[in-house]
């Protein structure tokens, strides 16, 4: 399965890779269960392994409650839904019934960030990282591409306790030219650190970081790129090492600028006396807009142009 995902990483979405990985895991482990809140992510899983699958319809609170209960007989239990509803609507059930009880429920949020922006503001998932990284025992992962999504699915299935897997929309270019191992809680240095360090999570923010670092290098400003696929637990050691000589750290995420990756990075660097930080994320306003993901990212300032400007505003 992983060989297939690696070879087709540029045409597979994170959702596709997750579905392939989950099916392989389900075939190997009859105790693994999958629940869905009316999504079609696991259609092949449902067809091949019907005794390990339940579709609960558009009832996300029920989804989480049933998933928690099923851990008595099945583990792990994957519970998938649209990100704004699987997290936002079911937060009380996640907090009390899953995180509080430290149960092996793996929540899969599809169409995170602005990836379902054409459906309107109700489908914007901009608070999920912040909400879930506050909860005890919770592992929070936002893969950069299909390759990471498949590996993260396998890793989470083998990791005790609750977790959240944040998946976006259509396929995006992979930041990887070499097949590298995925380790939960271990950030990946994609470009050697310099005067500037871009720190990103998720598909589009990592593409912005990569291009911004390249543009700064063309201007004679050295810039590194750190992919933080695991927002919790945050890789404190790699972050501190990568930012040790940086004059500024610029965080990039398709999430609120408050509460998510940028806040997590600030917490670490403030305690360690690290460099200045500039955060790029969705501003503290209600985004009452309908449009494509690219359009909404542009309106929110999650762009190469803004990333370069934020960096140059400090290093000149």
**Tens-place pLDDT, residues 118-151:** 999 999 999 999 999 999 999 999 999 999 999 9
Residue 178 makes CB contacts below 8 A (sequence gap 6+) with none
- Please give the pLDDT value at position 164: 98
Residue 63: half-sphere exposure toward Cβ, Cα within 13 Å: 32
The pTM of the whole model exceeds 0.95: yes
Q: How confident is the model at residue 41 (pLDDT cuts 50, 70, 90)?
A: confident
Residue 38 to residue 149: CA distance in whole angstroms: 21
Residue 311 to residue 101: CA distance in whole angstroms: 42
State whether CATH 3.40.50.720 applies to domain 2-166. Answer: no
Q: What percent of the chain has pLDDT over 90?
A: 96
φ, ψ dihedrals at 78, nearest 5°: -95, 130
Q: What percent of the chain has pLDDT over 70?
A: 100
Total count of residues recorded for the chain: 316
2-166 and 188-315 share one fold = yes
Task: For residue 156, give the nearest of 145, 168, 164 by alpha carbon.
Answer: 164
Secondary structure (3-state) at 217: helix
pLDDT above 90: residue 247: yes
Per-residue pLDDT of 273-296, as tens digits, reads 999 999 999 999 999 999 999 999
Per-residue pLDDT of 85-120, as tens digits, reads 999 999 999 999 999 999 999 999 999 999 999 999
Q: How confident is the model at residue 298 (pLDDT cuts 50, 70, 90)?
A: very high
Residues 58, 62, 68, 74, CA torsion sign: negative
Q: How confident is the model at residue 38 (pLDDT cuts 50, 70, 90)?
A: confident
Decide: residue 291, CB within 10 A, 0-12 exposed, 13-18 middle, 19+ buried: middle
- Please give the pLDDT value at position 316: 85
Pick the CATH number of 188-315 from 3.40.50.920, 3.40.50.150, 3.40.710.10, 3.30.365.10: 3.40.50.920
Give the domain ranges of the chain.
2-166, 188-315
Task: Kindly report the number of other CB atoms within 10 A of residue 304's CB atom.
Answer: 17
pLDDT above 90: residue 199: yes
């Amino acid at each position: 399965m992983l060989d297939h995902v690696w070879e087709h990483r540029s045409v597979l979405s994170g959702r596709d890779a997750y579905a392939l990985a989950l099916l392989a895991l389900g075939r190997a482990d009859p105790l693994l269960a999958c629940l869905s809140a009316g999504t079609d992510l696991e259609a092949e899983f449902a067809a091949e392994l019907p005794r390990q699958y339940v579709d609960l319809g558009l009832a996300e609170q029920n989804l989480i409650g049933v998933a928690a209960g099923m851990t008595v007989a099945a583990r792990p239990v994957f519970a998938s839904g649209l990100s704004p509803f699987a997290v936002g609507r079911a937060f009380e059930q996640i907090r009390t019934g899953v995180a509080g009880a430290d149960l092996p429920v793996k929540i899969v949020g599809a169409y995170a960030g602005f990836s379902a922006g054409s459906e309107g503001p109700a489908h914007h998932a901009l608070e999920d990282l912040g909400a879930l990284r506050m909860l005890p025992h919770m592992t929070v992962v936002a893969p950069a591409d299909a390759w990471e999504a498949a590996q993260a699915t396998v890793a989470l299935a083998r990791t005790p306790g609750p977790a959240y897997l944040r998946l976006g929309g259509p396929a995006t270019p992979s930041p990887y030219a070499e097949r590298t191992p995925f380790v939960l809680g271990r950030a990946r240095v994609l470009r050697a650190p310099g005067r500037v360090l871009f720190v990103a999570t998720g598909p589009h923010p990592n593409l912005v970081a990569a291009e911004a670092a390249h543009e700064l290098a063309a201007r004679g400003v050295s810039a590194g790129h750190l992919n933080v696929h695991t927002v919790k637990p945050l890789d404190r050691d790699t972050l501190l090492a990568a930012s040790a000589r940086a004059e500024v750290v610029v965080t990039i995420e398709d999430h609120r600028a408050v509460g998510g990756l940028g806040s997590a990075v600030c917490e670490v660097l403030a305690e360690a006396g690290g460099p200045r930080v500039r955060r790029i994320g969705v501003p503290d306003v209600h985004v009452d807009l309908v449009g494509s993901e690219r359009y909404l990212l542009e309106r929110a300032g999650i762009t190469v142009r803004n990333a370069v400007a934020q960096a140059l505003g400090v290093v000149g």
